[in-house]
A and B are shown apart, each in its own frame.
Chain A
Amino acid sequence: MTSIINLQSKSENKIKLALKNITVTFSSSNGHQVLAVNDVSLDVYEQEFIALIGTSGCGKSTLLNVMAGLITADSGQVLIDGVETVGINPKIGYMSQLDSLLPWATVMDNVALGLELRGISKKERRAMARELIVRMGLTGFEYSYPHELSGGMKKRVTIARVLAIDPEILFMDEPFGPLDAFTKEILQDDILKIWHETKKTIVYVTHDLSEAISLADRVVLISSRPGKVKAEYNIPLPRPRNVMDIKFDANYVDIEKTIWLQLKEEVIKGKEGIGHVSKIS
């Protein structure tokens, strides 16, 4: 496809995270072995923003959990900075789609949680947390509890919390899934800003194609179960991007169409697994 030109490939950068032939099987409740991820290899470059996209249940979250060390793969290796990693790696910060703030802790204590776990003194971690609270626009809510915040604000607290431990790699698993479209775009913009400022490597899992294209340098399409890398696309849209305006870029529609044609096949394939509505006669 000529319209997709590799304008700003990060491939000169060194490989930050590598998956080598990862295979994961689950035993389902009725005792069957289900192949969730099949022989996936993937290189993520330093400071790259990579998006994994696929239909729901395709194994993209499983893949992310393997990279994070929360799930052990049946076979294959995960390498970070060229070293094989087993279990949880402190270089990784993880933001899941589910609300994972401690409901009994204030915004301040939630943001400082990772620092507290690492044994940083109360005074020091509070100072660091306060800085991040200001940066995420949460001033005045330091001593509120999560149930007193809106969905978007909770996400900001979660972002502040993951930034507090200053991870080199950021994993985001459909982080803004349940939010409304406008809040989502504002938060996506925040993520882009943070990425520009901090130069972290970001692995972003989503099922929303426009989200993947607006944010990422590279989009990796994962096939329907069992999950496999079906295709990879470099996204040649200019940086810095503005999530709200990028859809009107001249190349945007071409890119979206190219990827969609492949993604559509997976959607249809996935649908067969779910079953379909039959015609009422």
Chain B
Amino acid sequence: MSAKFRNIRIPALIQTVLLVMALFLIWELATRAGKVDTFFFSSPNLIGNDIVKMWTSGDISKHVGITFKEAFYGLIYGGVFGTLCAFIFGMNKKLHNILFPIIVGMNGLPKLALGPLLIFWFGIGIESKIVMSAVMVFFIFLFNIYAGYCNVDVTLINAVRMMGGNQWQIIRKVIWPSCIPWFLVSLRTGLGMSIMGAIVGEYIGANKGLGWMIQNAGGTYNITRVISCIVLLIILMASLDYFVKFLEKKILRWRPTVD
């Protein structure tokens, strides 16, 4: 192979897509050769057709839309509330000392256990899923941003104080900006959590959404449908993560990069 050819750079995204396509091709060929039973493992061809079918029937926009909406509100509520609590605990150590053990204990609880309660309190509709999603996201934001708050450089706080900055200015000019990397980490982790929360909520009791579709299809041994939904979820997650990464690059221009 000539040196010229080896120097061609293929963008990472294209490489990822190529890898996935190669895996799908192997899978498809294995089914065609009769090595893989489509009843148990379906096939890329069947899944593709199923996704097209769901697209044309409007099922995708309806059910993905619902799950996305639940996760989105869950992320917003959980994120805002978690960030606020982290700042309140950062500013008030006494409150932190009293309440943190309770919160840590609650975080240890499998959120799935809350399912029946949430359905009972908030109904079978979208609200119970938003709450489930928000609860899962909340802890991520709270713990991460609280850690960020405790990591603030005291030198910077003193510098702003010496220039006459008041408490509010210190928060706005020093504490919040230095928490932003932690906020973005929470956002990336929280994104996955919010979708997980929504799906788990739908599993427990719902009549629409991706989680419900998976549950429903699984019950009727429609493996193709289950895998279609999983593929959709993966695409949804990957594109959202891509978006947050883009955001991160824009916002964290002030940080020296590793590469």
Contact = CB atoms under 8 A, between A and B. Distances in A.
Contacts of B150: none
Given A96-B155, A98-B155, A103 B162 contact: no
Contacts, number: 58
A94 B254 contact: no
A102 interface: yes
A141 interface: no
A255 interface: no
Contact of B173 (A70, A102, A147): A102
Contacts of B254: 103-105, 145-147
Contacts of B156: 100, 102
A68 interface: yes
Output the residue of B160, B161, B162, B178 with the most chain A CB within 10 A: B162
Contacts of B161: 70, 88
A98 B159 CA distance: 10
Interface residues of A, number: 25
B170 to A, nearest CB: 9
Main secondary structure of the interface of A (DSSP, over half): loop
Given A145-B253, A145-B254, A113 B164 contact: no
B152 to A, nearest CB: 12
B155 A113 contact: no
Interface string B139-160: 0000000000000000110111
Contacts of A113: 160, 163, 173
A92 B162 contact: yes
B60 interface: no
Interface string B158-188: 1111111100010001100110100000000
A118 interface: yes
B164 A88 contact: yes
A100 B255 CA distance: 15
Contact of A96 (B158, B160, B164, B255): B158
A251 to B, nearest CB: 36
Interface string A76-93: 000000000000101011
Nearest to B251: A104
A98 B155 CA distance: 7
B213 to A, nearest CB: 43
A118 B158 CA distance: 16
B110 interface: no
A116 B162 CA distance: 13
Interface of B: 155-156, 158-165, 169, 173-174, 177-178, 180, 253-256
6 shortest A-B CB distances, which residue pairs? A100-B159, A114-B163, A94-B162, A104-B254, A147-B256, A98-B155
